[in-house]
Chain A
Amino acid sequence: MFFRLYIYSLKQTSRQKLIMFWSLIFPIILGTLFRAAFGEFLEEEVIFHQIPVAYVAEEGASLAFEETLNLLEEDNGLVKIVRTDGEEAEILLKEEKVEGIFYNRASAAEKGNVSLTVTSQEMSQSILSSILEQYQRVFHTMGNIGRENPAGIEAAVKEIGQQRQYLTEGGITDTPKSVMTDYFYALIAMDCLMGVSMGLQIAINYKANLSNIAVRRVASGTSRFGMLMPDLAARITIQFLCTVCSVCYLTFAMKISLGNKFGLLLLTTLVGSVVGIFMGFFIGAIGTYKESLKEGVCVCCMMLSSFLAGLMVGGMYRFLERYAPIVNRINPASLIVKSLYSLNIYEGYERYTQCMISLLVIAILLGTGAFAMIRRERYASI
């Protein structure tokens, strides 16, 4: 039964012109307009603005880290170093003239340890942190090799050379990235959340006070759960395929670089689509309000979520991270943007995984809540 209802749900949804326009055509149009508007900014592939960072080195401190920083500044332009003393560095950080302070200490206990001080957890600070982590990893590796296997030191030096080249050529990862790419990430997030319309429709089809079809379905011999699962699966499939089309269009037709991890990018859009569908399903399941009101709430939620993720105003994510970080933790569009960002900026998958887990938790909460509301529902009036 599942497969048959799934196929019918696919047919029924895919033949709805309005829904297909918003989920498939509109993001493509918007992407084309973005591409036309940003034009040469995208082609320049500007990596980042230079990250201003204070560098405080004690006398007698190791020069290795300073040398690494010099390379990052001169060859790559990733950071802009302000060499200063501790007091002034803190003032600069407080006045937000630098994004962080690297302390290179010379004391016996801390020799070889470089520390980083930041006041917030934004993109720039994350990059500085990654630079430090990578440096420390190499530093300790060299120390261990020197102690335990002096013969392998040559190979290790070669390795360091590669690491240095890696840092100077590609930044945190070797993915070329334009600052304008953020808008396209936000666009993909919005596309995923376009699923709210389909999710709302699922709920309406179970609300006997809002739809005639719901009366017939609810009065039928199949459980609501039995009808719901194929409906959800079909809508998620369609929304996911629409988003894949948009991503392919941006990548291959518009030549927007969205990173090299295409598989994980698609996984993100799949999870994003699930959240979008469940968001609409949840809103639709609340109370006995009119369908038009619920539609309005769905559109508002979707647009607000996209706005907060930076679709309309660049830098919104950073702004919220500074003044209301909780919004970025619970806003689905921000989580989608951040996960796409993490994929293409960081080497590891820790941040990406965190975002995915957050999105899945949101989806589960929304889905469970919605089903609890429509299960065994009886109405005061129809």
Chain B
Amino acid sequence: MAEQIIEIENLVKRYKELVALDHLNLTVTEGEVFGLLGPNGSGKTTAISCILALLQFDKGSVRVLGKEMQPDSYDIKRQIGVVLQNVAVFEELTVQENIDYFCGLYITDKKERKQCVEDAIVFSGLEDFRRFYPKKLSGGLLRRLNIACGIAHKPRLIILDEPTVAVDPQSRNRILEGIQKLNQEGATIIYTSHYMEEVEQICTRIAILDKGRCVAMGTKEELKAMIKTGEKIHLEIWELKPEQLEEIRSLRHVYQVDYREGMLEIRCSGGKHNLVHILDYLARREISFGRVYSELPTLNDVFLEITGKELRDSAE
């Protein structure tokens, strides 16, 4: 059975009146890419700070690699790599110097460190920017440097706190691919984000946070299975009468209909051939339509159903 890398029990953290973490319970198993998904202010970064023993908390316990995490738990910290939400590099050191500096806080052997630094540079695609100072790098490259500094020492557990914020799509894809590669090489990953697509793409297990509480946890399939929505069908219809809307709503498996600005969105709860039934109805009523597409529920739908609000709206 795989080892529990992180065990959080009943964690409570308050900022005066605000409850940032409300009896949070989490476990992360070795080898997984664990996603912490939630809007800004949901408690993701606070949870990470508690895991790293940076923040005092009011109640609960945090165990990392089987031990209680303390500020001086250096034996545990040596096995953790941290990539922060904000870029944390020295402006006065070059790309290579920065990676070497932070790698050297974990690895003292010169030869081994040199190899690790080289691997990190290649991994993050910064070969052509070794002697560049951070201020000369673009936003995407800077983020890659930030990641390289956090993972150069090849840690067993890597914590990435929103590493793709304000990153161009090309760099974002490269970062996500890199994270998957690190996981394949054996690292356990904790990945926080409010971008559900990223979490869906790379995470093997996901916890959805809202107001400091874990509202749902499981694989993405498990999470999607928790909600009523099984399929979303979108149709472009120029004119639709209220009684027709009611008839659509009464179709089998349809439980929610929303018609706005010429777009009809129909949510169906499981069932097969939903689209066929709807198209059949439109043909019978001689209702003309344009584009039609169907999609499976996303994590946003999970969040929406559980919390009553959009993940993206909350995030921005």
Interface residues of A (CB under 8 A from B): 1, 4-5, 8, 11-13, 15-16, 208, 211-213, 215-223, 227, 376-382
Task: Judge whether B105 and A220 touch: CB under 8 Å.
Answer: yes
Task: Judge whether A378 and B71 touch: CB under 8 Å.
Answer: yes
Task: Judge whether B106 and A221 touch: CB under 8 Å.
Answer: yes
Task: Judge whether B88 and A215 touch: CB under 8 Å.
Answer: yes
Task: Judge whether B89 and A213 touch: CB under 8 Å.
Answer: yes
Task: Judge whether A216 and B149 touch: CB under 8 Å.
Answer: yes
Task: Judge whether B102 and A220 touch: CB under 8 Å.
Answer: yes
Q: B59-100 toward A: CB 8 Å interface, digit per residue (1/0)?
A: 000000000001110110111101010111110110001001
CA of A13 to CA of B89, assembled, Å = 14
Task: Judge whether A379 and B106 touch: CB under 8 Å.
Answer: no
Interface centre among B56, B90, B100 (most CB of A within 10 A): B90
Task: Judge whether A5 and B104 touch: CB under 8 Å.
Answer: yes
Task: Judge whether B84 and A215 touch: CB under 8 Å.
Answer: yes
Closest 6 CB pairs of A and B: A221-B78, A212-B88, A15-B92, A220-B105, A216-B88, A222-B105
Task: Judge whether B97 and A227 touch: CB under 8 Å.
Answer: no
Sample of 20 A–B contacts (CB below 8 Å):
A15-B92, A15-B93, A16-B92, A208-B54, A213-B88, A213-B89, A213-B90, A215-B84, A216-B84, A220-B105, A221-B74, A221-B77, A221-B78, A221-B105, A376-B70, A378-B53, A378-B55, A378-B71, A379-B55, A380-B55
CB-nearest residue of chain A relative to B106?
Answer: A221
Q: Which of A16, A212, A222, A382 makes the CB contact (< 8 A) with B106?
A: A222
Task: Judge whether A12 and B105 touch: CB under 8 Å.
Answer: no
CB-nearest residue of chain A relative to B86?
Answer: A212
Q: B184-200 toward A: CB 8 Å interface, digit per residue (1/0)?
A: 00000000000000000
Task: Judge whether A4 and B90 touch: CB under 8 Å.
Answer: no
Task: Judge whether A378 and B54 touch: CB under 8 Å.
Answer: yes
CA of A215 to CA of B55, assembled, Å = 11
The A-B contact count (CB < 8 A) is 91
Contacts of A212 in B (CB 8 A): 84, 86-88
Query: What is the minimal beta-carbon distance from A15 to any residue of chain B, in angstroms?
Result: 4
Give the size range of B's interface with the partner: 35 or more
Within 8 A of A (CB), among B27-81: 45, 49, 52-56, 70-72, 74-75, 77-80
Task: Judge whether B106 and A218 touch: CB under 8 Å.
Answer: no
Tell me, yes or no, whether B259 is within 8 Å of chain A by CB: no
Task: Judge whether B92 and A12 touch: CB under 8 Å.
Answer: yes
CB-nearest residue of chain B relative to A8?
Answer: B101
Tell me, yes or no, whether B140 is within 8 Å of chain A by CB: no
Tell me, yes or no, whether B293 is within 8 Å of chain A by CB: no
Query: What is the minimal beta-carbon distance from A207 to any residue of chain B, in angstroms?
Result: 11
Task: Judge whether A219 and B55 touch: CB under 8 Å.
Answer: no
CB-nearest residue of chain A relative to B20?
Answer: A381
Known A-B contacts A1-B108, A4-B104, A378-B71; A216 and B53 likewise in contact (beta carbons under 8 Å): no
Contacts of A218 in B (CB 8 A): 52, 54, 71
CA of A8 to CA of B93, assembled, Å = 8
CA of A219 to CA of B89, assembled, Å = 14
Sample of 10 more A-B contacts, CB < 8 Å, known A15-B93, A216-B88, A376-B72: A5-B101, A8-B100, A8-B101, A212-B86, A215-B82, A216-B82, A218-B71, A221-B153, A378-B71, A381-B15
Tell me, yes or no, whether B212 is within 8 Å of chain A by CB: no
Main secondary structure of the interface of B (DSSP, over half): loop
Contacts of B79 in A (CB 8 A): 221
Contacts of A12 in B (CB 8 A): 90, 92-93
Contacts of A4 in B (CB 8 A): 104
Tell me, yes or no, whether B150 is within 8 Å of chain A by CB: yes
Known A-B contacts A16-B92, A222-B74, A223-B74; A379 and B104 likewise in contact (beta carbons under 8 Å): no
CA of A99 to CA of B74, assembled, Å = 63
CA of A12 to CA of B54, assembled, Å = 25
Contacts of B52 in A (CB 8 A): 215, 218-219
CA of A220 to CA of B84, assembled, Å = 13
Contacts of A11 in B (CB 8 A): 92-93, 97
Task: Judge whether A217 and B105 touch: CB under 8 Å.
Answer: yes
CA of A1 to CA of B97, assembled, Å = 15
Contacts of B82 in A (CB 8 A): 215-216, 219-220
Query: What is the minimal beta-carbon distance from A263 to any residue of chain B, in angstroms?
Result: 33
Task: Judge whether B97 and A381 touch: CB under 8 Å.
Answer: no
Task: Judge whether A379 and B92 touch: CB under 8 Å.
Answer: no
CA of A1 to CA of B149, assembled, Å = 17
Known A-B contacts A378-B53, A378-B54; A219 and B77 likewise in contact (beta carbons under 8 Å): yes
Task: Judge whether B93 and A223 touch: CB under 8 Å.
Answer: no
Task: Judge whether B72 and A223 touch: CB under 8 Å.
Answer: yes
CA of A150 to CA of B51, assembled, Å = 87
Query: What is the minimal beta-carbon distance from B133 to any residue of chain A, in angstroms?
Result: 9
Contacts of B106 in A (CB 8 A): 220-222
Contacts of A208 in B (CB 8 A): 54
Task: Judge whether B56 and A379 touch: CB under 8 Å.
Answer: yes
CA of A382 to CA of B48, assembled, Å = 11
CA of A194 to CA of B15, assembled, Å = 37
Contacts of B56 in A (CB 8 A): 378-380
Contacts of A377 in B (CB 8 A): 71
Contacts of A376 in B (CB 8 A): 70-72
Task: Judge whether B54 and A8 touch: CB under 8 Å.
Answer: no
Contacts of A16 in B (CB 8 A): 92
Interface centre among A1, A13, A220, A378 (most CB of B within 10 A): A220
CA of A218 to CA of B55, assembled, Å = 12
Contacts of A216 in B (CB 8 A): 82, 84, 88, 102, 149-150
Contacts of A15 in B (CB 8 A): 92-93
